[in-house]
Structure 1
Amino acid sequence: MKVSDLGVIRLFTAVLAAAGLAVSLAAIGAAGAPRNALIVQGLSAVLALGLALLVGRFWRRARWRLWVLMAACGLALVLTLMNGVSLEGAKRWLALGPIQLHTASIVLPFAVWAFAKGFGDRRAAPIAALIAFLLLYQHDAASSLAFALALAAGALVERPRQLTPWACVIVAGLLAYAAWVAPDTLPAVPYVEGLLANTMKANPVLGFVAGVLMIGLPAPFLAVAQARPERRAEALALAALWTGWIAGALFGNYPAPVLGYGAAPILAWGLSLGLVLGDSANQDPPAS
């Protein structure tokens, strides 16, 4: 069935989000999460809903300079490398009081969205390559893979005539490979990185449902790509981003996005949804 209405996609997404939150709370509880983790997870979902509505309402009405937006994303990663929380050599988090936010989760949806819309600006692709380098130095193979897949998806849809975006895709792919072959020394937390395996042991049915819902996270973006051709590049790029994060959880020692414990992935999913499900504007953001 071809989806032709953003309202239908929004309703489907709301059902998916509600089911995901319920299963997430049950899964991280079964995997041994403390009660305060359940509270943080629930509050993060509420905040993500607010961000999705806010971004969806106002984002496309702003006249963004896309290369500036990407540069701001790169700057956030630089600040994380300089002043972020370090664990076993990895610097992926910024401390906000008692909460540690995974920076890449927050900034990559914006960077991917800007890259997919910024092929008319030659400044966008080099900044995307810089972001890929920064992800490598953060020792974040899952985000490196996700970002490389997102850049490739955006380029394949738009097929830019310039060589620079294609070179950026190749560089990001090589850096993602380098990130994956590097050893990962971070220990797994049962209700974060090891969520699916530990939930499957505690409750096979719940573990199976959690896995299905996690794999279904890119579905709203794929639906938007089918329903709205003018948003296809950005929607497929975001779908690829989330596919990469899911692959990181399935094949590496990385958090289960949205379903596992952690505020940043939930906020990132809300931001990503706001970017593609938002109200239409009379004019798309300019590339420069």
Structure 2
Amino acid sequence: MTSTQARNAARPWLLLLPLPAMLLGAFTAWRSGAPAGAFILNAAAAALGAGVAVLLGRQPGLTLPRAATPLAVIAILVTASTLLFPGLEGIHRWVALGPVRLHASAIATPWVLLGMSAALHQRLAVSAALALSMAAVHAAQPDAGQGTAFALAASVLLARAQLAPWPARAATCAGVLAMGAMAWLRPDPLAAVPHVERIVQLAAGLTPVLGAVAVLALALLLVPTVPGITVGRDLSLGLAVYLAATLCVPALGNFPVPVMGAGAGPVLGWYLATGMLMAAARRPPGSSPPRRAPRPPRGGTLEA
């Protein structure tokens, strides 16, 4: 591993980025009369997630890509298992672990995007199958928030599969986006929980300055995907689109605000995504999947 890769891989300060959002969320909930104790799970998830992210970040660069497809399949199955648990008013988004319910897709989606990015330039069919399967689960739950965020990220990745002909890419993207849209057509009667889905509005209600600080704190969650902070263009781009979309969809419906709102699933999901990017920074030079060579002109020669 080169010195540049070592610097990219060893960025422990990335693990501190969720703390402003978490602390601000707990403070806002307390000042608004909401149960601040609900954020204990966020703190526990952050401690667990940081440890897992460190372990992921220490993996050799090719370890995760080689295991990415089976890990993605497991992630889809875990998300689909929510359909077997008792739902809330017909909505099935959570896996129950004793008294704790975890938002499964928030934890599983980074693994699916990892699997897609690993197979993207060699086996489009694998990436497409992963994307369509996860999108179908979101439509069945239904979870329009996660469904939209995942569909956008998956479509961006699929569009970059340069070894595949564009009609195949276009058809797959259309299918994934259609599945994402289908989740919006399913009834979702769940009301918003203020300290989960409306935490930014609560902060702004206390003072506009606090609302602005809340937006800035959430923006910090995108820093690990910024070029130059970590590497792995496909994975970082897919995760950037996904994370940005999860921050935006609460404005469109009753969907949890990641990290700042109460809920352990999005916290774990963010740390998993960051750990994957830290591991990608350890990938040795020349190990990226092959891309299609430029086509020569009709004369049969390439111009430099």
In which range does the TM-score fall when normalised by the shorter chain? 0.7 to 0.9
Pairing of 1:36-51 with structure 2 (within 5 A): 36-51=37-52
The separation in 1 between residues aligned to 2:60 and 2:143, in whole angstroms, is 28
TM-score with structure 1 setting the length: 0.87
TM-score with structure 2 setting the length: 0.82
Deviation at 1:190, TM superposition (A): 0.8
The separation in 2 between residues aligned to 1:90 and 1:222, in whole angstroms, is 34
Contact 2:78 2:104 in 1 (8 A): yes
From the superposition, tell whether residues 96 and 164 of structure 1 become closer, same or farther in structure 2 (CA, over 3 Å).
farther
Say which is worse superposed, 5-14 or 137-146, in terms of deviation: 5-14
The separation in 2 between residues aligned to 1:164 and 1:34, in whole angstroms, is 49
Corresponding residue for residue 127 of structure 1? 130
Deviation at 1:78, TM superposition (A): 2.2
Contact 2:71 2:111 in 1 (8 A): yes
Corresponding residue for residue 245 of structure 1? 246
Contact 2:106 2:266 in 1 (8 A): yes
Corresponding residue for residue 205 of structure 1? 209
Superposed CA deviations along residues 134-174 of structure 1, whole A, max 9, x for unmatched, are 11111100111111111122234443424544432211111
Corresponding residue for residue 190 of structure 1? 194
Corresponding residue for residue 282 of structure 2? 280
Say which is worse superposed, 44-53 or 5-14, in terms of deviation: 5-14
Contact 2:89 2:189 in 1 (8 A): yes
Corresponding residue for residue 159 of structure 1? 162
Deviation at 1:241, TM superposition (A): 0.8
Corresponding residue for residue 98 of structure 1? 99
The separation in 1 between residues aligned to 2:10 and 2:269, in whole angstroms, is 18
Deviation at 1:254, TM superposition (A): 0.4
From the superposition, tell whether residues 23 and 8 of structure 1 become closer, same or farther in structure 2 (CA, over 3 Å).
farther
The separation in 2 between residues aligned to 1:44 and 1:108, in whole angstroms, is 17
Corresponding residue for residue 143 of structure 1? 146
Contact 2:15 2:271 in 1 (8 A): no
Q: Which runs of 5+ in 2 are unaligned?
A: 291-304
**Paired letter, 1:97:** G
Whether 2:223 is the aligned partner of 1:219: answer: yes
Contact 1:249 1:256 in 2 (8 A): yes
Deviation at 1:59, TM superposition (A): 6.7
Corresponding residue for residue 178 of structure 1? 182
Q: Work out which of the two has the higher radius of gyration on C-alpha atoms and give 1 or 2.
A: 2
Q: Secondary structure at the match of 1:109?
A: helix
Corresponding residue for residue 173 of structure 2? 169
Contact 1:56 1:274 in 2 (8 A): yes
Work out the number of aligned pairs and report it.
Answer: 280
Q: Secondary structure at the match of 1:100?
A: strand
Pairing of 1:109-120 with structure 2 (within 5 A): 109-119=110-120, 120=122
Contact 1:70 1:110 in 2 (8 A): yes
Deviation at 1:34, TM superposition (A): 1.9
From the superposition, tell whether residues 227 and 89 of structure 1 become closer, same or farther in structure 2 (CA, over 3 Å).
closer
Deviation at 1:210, TM superposition (A): 1.2
Q: Which runs of 5+ in 1 are unaligned?
A: none
Please give the root-mean-square deviation of Cα atoms over the aligned residues, in Å.
Answer: 2.6
Q: Secondary structure at the match of 1:91?
A: coil
